[in-house]
Structure 1
Amino acid sequence: MKKTTQRPDPQLPQQAFQLYDKYAHGLMSRRDFFSAMAGLAVNAALATSFINSMLPNYALAEQVSFNDPDITASYQKFPSPAGHGEGRGYLVKPKTASAALATVLVIHENRGLNPYIEDVARRLGKAGFIAFAPDALWPLGGYPGNDDDGRAMQRSLEPGKIVADLAAAAKWLKNIDGGSGKLGVVGFCFGGAMAGRLAAELPEVVNASVPFYGSPPPEALIANIIAPLLVQLGELDERVNQQWPAAEALFQQHKLDYKIEVYAGSHHGFHNDSTARYNKEMAELAWQRTLTFFRQHLS
C-alpha cells in the first residue's frame, strides 16, 4: 500500500469522526449521536459547532454547477428486469464531443443519490466522460432530500435487488448512444463496495473500477475480476481498512491489476466535501488519480 502524507485535522477530536461513522452507517441513532457529540465538548456552543461540522451541508459540495455551459444533465430511466423493474439516475454528458466517449458509473453512499454524488457526476462530465449516477432509492420515490430518511429507505430495500439495479445501470450505460463501449465504475462507501463487486460480477462489462473506502469484493468472486482496480482508502478509516489485507492477498494470488492508495490523515468519507471529514488536499489528489486512471484504462 502506498501512503500519501498529510497532516491530520487538528480541530475535531478523533472520537467525533468515530461517532459520525457509526451514525452514518446506522449503528447509532441521531439522538445518541447528538448526545455523544455533546459529551465531547466543554460547553454547549462547542457542542453545536462539533455537530454542525459533522453533519452534511450539501451547499458546500457543488464544484460544478448544474447549468455549467460545458455539460448537459438530465434524469434518465433504465430497465432493470432482475431488480425493481426500472431504475432512474442522473446522466451528465459533455456538451460537445468529436468522438465517442468513455462512460463512468457513479455509485452513491448508503443514503441514495444526494447532491454530492450528483456533483461528482458533473465533475466527470466536465472532465470529458459520460457519467451516470443511479439512485438505488428510485423504487421508493428516490432520494428524499435528507440523509437520515435516505439511510432508512436504503436499509428497507432487498440488497440483492439493489445490486441487480446497479448491474442493469452498468449494462445500460456501457451501450449508451455516444459512448465508446468502455465502462468505468467509481463508488463511495457503500458505492465503493459496489464498484468492486460489479467488477467481480460483471467482468466482461466493467473495464476499470475505483472503489473509495468501501468493503472489498466478496472473496469467492475476486478471481473473476479482469478490470484494473484503483482502491482509495483513508488512513484513519480503521473499520474499512482492516478488511483489506485478506483481500489484497487474494488480489496477489490471482495476479490482479490493482493499486491501493492510502491517504494519511484522512477519515472515511474524506472525498465528500459536505462534512468535516473532507480532506481537501487528499481528496483532490485522489480525484486526479481517478481521472488519470480512467483515461489510461478507458481510452
Structure 2
Amino acid sequence: MCDEDSNREAEAYYRRHGMTRRAFGKTGLGAALAMMLPWSARAQEVKESKVVVETPDGEADAYFVHPAKGRHPAVIMWPDIFGMRPAFRQMGRRLAESGYAVLVVNPYYRSIHAQLIPDEARVIDPDLRKAVWPRAKALAATLSPATCVTDGRAFVRFLDRQPSVDTGKRIGVVGYCMTGSYTFRLAADMPKRIGAGASFHGVGLVTDGEDSPHRLVPEMKAGFLIAIAQNDDERDPGAKTALRTAFDSAELPAEIEVYEGTLHGWCPPDSAVYNREQAERAWGRLQALLARNLS
C-alpha cells in the first residue's frame, strides 16, 4: 500500500537499484525518461497542450495530447499520489502516439495548480519522497469517492467536445496508486461511456466498506486490467480473490495479476522502485485492453 512501509521498502530498493541523482543530472530529465520509455516505430505525430477543464468545484488543469490527425478513442489518466509531473505527461504522450486522445489530469486542482513534484526533480528518490510525503498525504485526504465521480464526469464532458475525440467509441480510464480505485468508480457511474479501466498498483480496491470499489463491479460495462504489486499482494493476499469473484459474478472480463518482483509504485519511470521489465509488460497489457474495448 502507499504508506510508511512502502516508503521504507522504496528507500531500500532505490539504494540497491536506483539511478542516482548524478546520473539523472548528466542525462537530463527528458533524456532519462526517454531512455526508460521505449520508442515505437509506429508512433503517430501528436499535438499537446495545457488545458483547463471546468468542474463543479472549479477549474482543473490538465495535459491533453492526441494524434495530429483524425478522431480517436479517449483515455483519462489519473496520476499517483504525487500528482501531475513530467513522467505522467510522458506516459500520456506515449499512449497518444499509439492512437488515443489522452487527458492527464491534476487531481489536486482544488488545492494547487503548481506541481507537487517540480519539473527539475529527476527521480522521486528517498530524500525527495520524504520531503513531499506529508503534503502528498494531506492533498490526497482532500479527495473522496464523490469528487472522483464529479471530476470524472467533467473530464468526460471535456473530451466529448474535442474534435480529436471519436465520441462513437467508449472512453478508457487509467489510474495509479490511490487513483486505481477511481477507474472503478467512474466505470460504475458512467457504464455506457466507460469501456475500459486499468488500475496499476491501485490501493483500496477491496475494503470492508459498503462503497468498496470491488462492490461496484456489477454496475460496470467495462473490461479491466488490474496490475498488483507483489508487496501489496503480500499485505492483502485476499484482495485479488475478491476482485476475481466480483468480476466473474458480473460476467465482466478482467485481467488480474500480481507482477512478480515489483514494489508498490513500480510503473511510473521516475519512481524510486521503477521496474522497467514489468512496467513494460503492464504497458503492453494496457495497450491490449484498450484495443479490445475501445476500438
The CA deviation string for residues 254-277 of structure 1, in whole angstroms up to 9 with x for no partner, is 212222133222222221222342
Larger Rg: 1
Q: Secondary structure at the match of 1:138?
A: coil
* Letter paired with 2:291: R
Instruction: Write the distance in 2 (CA, Å) between the matches of 1:207 and 1:90.
Output: 22
Q: Which runs of 5 or more residues in structure 2 are unaligned? A: 119-128, 206-211
Is residue 135 of structure 1 aligned with residue 135 of structure 2? Answer: no
- 233-242 or 221-230: which moved more? 233-242
Query: How far apart, CA to CA, are the structure 2 residues paired with 1:207 and 1:279?
Result: 28
**Residues 69-218 of structure 1: matches in 2 within 5 Å?**
70-81=45-56, 84-97=57-70, 100-142=71-113, 143-146=115-118, 148=132, 151-159=136-144, 160-181=146-167, 182-214=170-202, 215-216=204-205, 218=213
- Give, as a single letter, the amino acid of the residue that structure 2 aligns with 1:246: A
Deviation at 1:175, TM superposition (A): 4.1
TM-score, with structure 1 as normaliser: 0.74
Tell me the CA shift for residue 140 of structure 1.
Answer: 2.1
* 1:261 equivalent among 254, 257, 263: 257
Q: Specify the code of the residue in structure 1 equivalent to 2:285.
A: R
Q: Is the 8 A contact 1:64 1:123 kept in 2?
A: no
- The residue identity in structure 2 corresponding to 1:80 is T
One-letter amino acid of the structure 2 residue matched with residue 61 of structure 1: L
Identity fraction in percent:
24
Letter in 2 for 1:221: L
Counterpart code for 2:117: G
Secondary structure, counterpart of 1:178 in structure 2: coil
Residue number in structure 2 paired with 1:274: 270
Query: Matched residues in 1 for 2:108 and 2:227: separation?
Result: 25
Confirm or deny: 8 A CA contact 2:44 2:98 kept in the other structure: no
TM-superposed CA distance for 1:297, in Å, is 1.3
Q: Measure, in 2, the Cα distance between the counterparts of 1:246 and 1:54.
A: 39
Shift, 1:158, TM fit? 3.9
What is the deviation of 1:153?
4.9
Distance of 2:259 and 2:44 partners within structure 1 = 33
Deviation at 1:104, TM superposition (A): 0.8
For structure 1, the 5+ residue unaligned runs are 1-20, 41-46
Counterparts in 2 of 1:265 and 1:185: CA distance versus 1, 3 Å: same
1:109 and 1:169 map into 2 onto residues whose CA distance is 17
Deviation at 1:191, TM superposition (A): 2.0
Matches within 5 A, 1:28-39: none
Does the aligned pair in 2 maintain the 1:226–1:256 contact within 8 Å?
A: yes
**Structure 2 vs 1, CA of residues 48 and 293 (structure 1 numbering), >3 Å: closer, same or farther?**
closer
Q: Which moved more, 1:240-249 or 1:208-217?
A: 240-249
Alpha-carbon distance in 2 for matches of 1:153, 1:75: 25
- The two structures have a TM-score, normalised by structure 2, of 0.75
Shift of 1:241: 5.2
How many Å separate the matches in 2 of 1:122 and 1:290? 15
Sort the Cα spacing of 1:175 and 1:242 in 2 relative to 1 into closer, same or farther, 3 A.
Answer: farther
Deviations 1:178-225 (A, max 9, x none): 211221111111121211221122212211111112132624422101
Contact 1:54–1:277 (CA under 8 A) maintained in structure 2: no
Q: Are 1:290 and 2:286 matched, yes or no? A: yes
Q: Which residue of 1 aligns with 2:208?
A: none
* CA shift in 2, pair 1:177/1:250, >3 Å: same
Alpha carbons of 1:54 and 1:175: their partners in 2 closer, same or farther (altered >3 Å)? farther
Paired with 1:48 and 1:267, the residues of 2 have a C-alpha distance of 11
Shift of 1:226: 0.7
Give the superposed CA RMSD. 3.2
Distance 1:61 1:163, change over 3 A: farther
Assess, with a 3 A threshold, how the Cα gap between structure 1 residues 111 and 241 changes in structure 2: closer, same or farther: farther
For 1:197, the aligned partner's letter is R
SS at match of 1:140: coil
In the alignment, the residues of structure 2 paired with residue 29 and residue 209 of structure 1 have an alpha-carbon distance, to the nearest angstrom, of 24
How far did 1:163 drift?
4.1
